Structure 1
């Protein structure tokens, strides 16, 4: 797995890392890593985060979170066993979080992506419901 490192801006503290790719993505979403922030992958030389292909686009995409319908504990994408209550979760409660980083254009892109994800989830749910009806 790739390890990422983030150069500390004020140079008074140590660089941040190693980070998993998901942790780097989360730092972008929080605004801790900007396009000008210097990063490196494993032992490579430092370069601007804007050169990491797809990083900022991925940070704008909505995040889908899944929750157990019985105890509302966050779970991974179903089917999954809830670690809190032991329920075999086949259909979870979902929450879509739109990630808006940067300027207004970024927020507009995120809003369109959010609608796209909502439509995808609706189609997926309709297909599952139709499949259950066909099996009955």
Structure 2
């Protein structure tokens, strides 16, 4: 799984590693803005606005699944609940509409997937030609 890092100004260390879902939470809370420097795994630092689709992904609704027996969070069914051991074929769902706090404006760049963005950035590393 990819690990993300956030460069924190006036802090002794970078924040991370973060899972992709944690990075999206930071965008939604306003902690990551378009000019915030972030990186994926060991890539170079980039402004968050350069990561195609990041802010659009943060705005998409999220779906959480819960065991209908014990109400413990689970992954998308079919799955076994790690809390009560029940086999779940249909879970209780919760859909959350997301916004970005602090009035952060979406970058003007058209949305592209983060995966395709990273592939393009990796191809442009020093000493390598563009594809």
Give the TM-score normalised by structure 1.
0.68
* Larger RCO (CA within 8 A; separation ≥ 6): 2
Deviation at 1:18, TM superposition (A): 2.4
Runs of 4+ in structure 1 over 3 Å off: 102-106
**Where does residue 35 of structure 1 map in the other structure?**
34
Residue equivalent to 1:99? 98
Q: After superposing the two structures, state which structure 1 stretch, 90-99 or 24-33, moved more.
A: 24-33
Question: Residue 89 of structure 2 corresponds to which residue in structure 1?
Answer: 90
Match of 1:56 in 2: 55
Residue of structure 1 equivalent to 2:5? 5
- Contact preservation (8 Å) 2:33, 2:104: no
Give how far 1:16 is off.
Answer: 1.1
Q: Which has the larger radius of gyration?
A: 1
SS in 2 for 1:18: strand
Q: How many residues align?
A: 105
Gaps of 5+ in 2: 107-131
Structure 1: 5+ residue stretches without partners: 107-136
Superposed displacement of residue 29, structure 1: 1.9
Higher helix share: 1
Q: Are 2:76 and 1:77 aligned?
A: yes
| Stretch moving more, 71-80 or 40-49 | 40-49
| Structure 2: distance between partners of 1:38 and 1:77 | 32
* CA deviations over 1:16-54 (Å, ceiling 9, x no partner): 122232322221122211111111233333221011111
- How big is the alpha-carbon RMSD for the aligned residues of Structure 1 and Structure 2? 2.1
